[in-house]
């Protein structure tokens, strides 16, 4: 794996660390710095890796502006039985970033160019500054300044971390004029953010059979509640063959967890709306607001290029171990589901995960067994003749037309059959 525009090797931590980090912060999509690997790719390793990790975090926190907390991960790895450090850096929304002591100048601001970090020209710095995101939830004031954070404090305590009295400042929950910002509002014990989980009988949004609201509380608590709900809904089905007993979930649990967290973290809360989660008879969908970050292609998105919409939310979710590493979520989803499961519009992003085919078949067979003899007979008629009318079916089965229509509606609500086309000229499809 050679050095390139997104990968840099460092044999050890040098005085140029901040320069390399700044270059990746300013480079759209960020990159990775491996420390403990020589320029030729030879694994050298690092002594006292814990101390080096703390040193790196401290230097990035104190020597780079604007604050990039939440935009980097310092991860210990082992290669060839030697310890190395993987420093993952995401591109920020407040570019240009620069080394504090040199200011926003060519001596302090750098940009990745090929496998090198080059000084930015005055024109490049000016262009990035003009494009800098002015409206973000980190800069928006909370609509309520009398906020309480007991839930957040409990979650930090459970992680063995303590929220000091100065946490609004350390977690960047304040605006420039020291008011609680919109991130603080989302993390507070009480807010007006509602997260909905809906369940439909069929494949469309016509027959809603259940809806639950989570939220009006800390975003961390709402996320955990949604994860718990989805775990309950993601049922396990068993198939017994002559050789073995096979147990399968309706959806891959790792992919769904990553998708839920990805939606909660990257949702554009300037819409004042939260993501929504929907179960259908054949799929699970997540809709979050906001589309791809400006300048990021679909190909880069699928490769794991990360530009957090809110570095403040990202930081807290990482403190809670809800996010494993920057940029790891989408690649983990793609291990189980294809790129076609993602849809991007101008205003929202949707992820649609089909139910496991074998499980879906088992589910349908189970449902079919419970619908009753008459409904099953109607299904068999529709398989042979999709154009059958209620009158024809009633005559064939020697039951009332009302009885046929009752069973047709039951099968429709369960997602077993679907009507295609107009009432007179359409046909029935047995799903």
pLDDT, tens digit, 9 for 90 and up, residues 251-293: 999 999 999 999 999 999 988 899 999 999 889 999 999 998 8
> What is the structure's pLDDT at 1?
67
- Average pLDDT rounded to a whole number, residues 296-310: 88
Q: Distance (Å, rounded) from C-alpha 280 to C-alpha 200?
A: 5
Joined together, the tokens standing for residue 231 give: 């775990």
Longest dimension (CA), the chain: 89
Determine phi and psi for 308, rounding to 5 degrees: -55, 135
- Average pLDDT rounded to a whole number, residues 107-125: 94
pLDDT, tens digit, 9 for 90 and up, residues 203-251: 888 878 899 999 899 999 999 999 999 999 998 887 666 667 778 899 9
Which CATH number applies to 7-131: 3.40.50.11810, 1.10.3720.10, 3.40.640.10, 3.30.950.30? 3.30.950.30
Q: Distance (Å, rounded) from C-alpha 104 to C-alpha 123?
A: 12
Q: Distance (Å, rounded) from C-alpha 65 to C-alpha 109?
A: 10
Q: In three state form, how does the secondary structure of the chain look?
A: CCCECCEEEECCCCCCHHHHHHHHHHCCCCEEEEECECCCCCECCCCCHHHHHHHHHHHHHHHEECCCCCCEEEEEEEECCEEEEEEEECCCCCCCCEEHHHCCCCCCCEEEECCEEEECCHHHHHHHHHHCCCCCCCCCECCCCCCCCHHHHHHHHHCCCCCCCCHHHHCCCECCCCCEEHHHHHHCCCCCCEEEEEEECCCCCCCEEEEEEEECCCHHHHHHHHHHHHHHHCCEEEEECCCCEEEEECCCHHHHHHHHHHHHHHCCHHHCCCCEEEECCCEEEEEEECCCCCCCCHHHHHCCCCCCCCHHHHHHHHHCCCCCCCCCHHHHHHCCCCHHHEEECCCEEEEEEECCHHHHHHHHHHHHHHCCHHHHHHHHHHHHCCCCCHHHHHHHHCCCHHHHHHHHHHHHHCCCEEEECCCCCCEEEEC
> What is the structure's pLDDT at 30?
93
> What is the structure's pLDDT at 67?
93
> What is the structure's pLDDT at 242?
63
Fold match flag (7-131 vs 194-357): no
Which CATH number applies to 194-357: 2.60.40.420, 3.40.50.300, 1.10.3720.10, 3.30.565.60? 3.30.565.60
pLDDT over 70 percentage in the chain: 97
Asked if residue 125 has pLDDT above 80, the reply is yes
Domain range annotation of the chain: 7-131, 194-357, 371-430
Question: What CATH class is the domain 371-430?
Answer: mainly alpha
Joined together, the tokens standing for residue 121 give: 């020209």
Query: How high does pLDDT run on average in the chain?
Result: 91
Asked if residue 363 has pLDDT above 80, the reply is no
pLDDT, tens digit, 9 for 90 and up, residues 148-159: 999 999 999 999
């Amino acid at each position: 794996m050679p050095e390139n525009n997104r990968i840099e090797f460092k044999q050890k931590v040098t005085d140029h660390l901040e320069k390399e980090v700044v270059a990746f912060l300013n480079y759209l999509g960020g990159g990775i710095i491996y420390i403990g690997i020589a320029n030729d790719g030879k694994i050298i390793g690092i002594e006292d890796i814990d101390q080096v990790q703390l040193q790196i975090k401290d230097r990035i926190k104190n020597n780079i502006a604007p604050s990039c907390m939440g935009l980097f991960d310092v991860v210990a790895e082992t290669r060839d039985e030697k310890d190395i450090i993987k420093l993952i850096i995401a591109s920020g929304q407040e570019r240009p970033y620069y080394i504090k002591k040199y200011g926003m100048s060519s001596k302090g601001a750098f940009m990745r160019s090929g496998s090198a970090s080059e000084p930015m020209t005055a024109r490049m710095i000016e262009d990035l500054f003009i494009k800098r995101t002015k409206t973000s939830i980190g800069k928006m004031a909370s609509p309520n300044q009398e906020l309480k954070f007991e839930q957040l404090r409990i979650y930090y305590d459970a992680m063995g971390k303590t929220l000091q009295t100065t946490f609004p400042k350390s977690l960047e929950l304040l605006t420039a004029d020291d008011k609680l910002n919109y991130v603080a509002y989302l993390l507070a014990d009480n807010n007006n953010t509602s997260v909905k989980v809906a369940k439909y009988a069929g494949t469309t949004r016509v027959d809603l059979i259940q809806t639950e609201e989570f939220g009006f509380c800390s975003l961390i608590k709402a996320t955990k509640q949604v994860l718990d709900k989805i775990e309950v809904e993601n049922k396990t089905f068993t198939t017994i063959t002559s050789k073995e007993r096979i147990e399968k979930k309706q959806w891959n649990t790792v992919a769904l967890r990553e998708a839920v967290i990805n939606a909660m973290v990257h949702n554009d809360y300037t819409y004042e709306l939260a993501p929504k989660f929907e179960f259908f008879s054949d799929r699970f969908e997540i809709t979050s607001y906001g589309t791809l970050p400006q300048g990021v292609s679909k190909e880069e998105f699928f490769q794991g290029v990360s530009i957090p919409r809110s570095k403040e939310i990202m930081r807290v979710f990482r403190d809670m171990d809800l996010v494993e590493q920057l940029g790891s979520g989408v690649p983990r989803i793609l291990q189980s589901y294809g790129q076609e499961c993602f849809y991007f519009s101008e205003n929202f992003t949707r992820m649609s995960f089909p139910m496991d085919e074998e499980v879906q078949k088992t589910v349908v067979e189970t449902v079919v067994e419970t619908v009753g003899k008459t409904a099953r007979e109607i299904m068999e008629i529709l398989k042979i003749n999709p154009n059958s009318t209620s009158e024809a079916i009633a005559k064939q089965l020697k039951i009332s037309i009302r009885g046929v229509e009752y069973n047709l509606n039951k099968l429709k609500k369960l997602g077993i059959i679907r009507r295609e086309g107009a009432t007179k000229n359409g046909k029935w499809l047995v799903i």
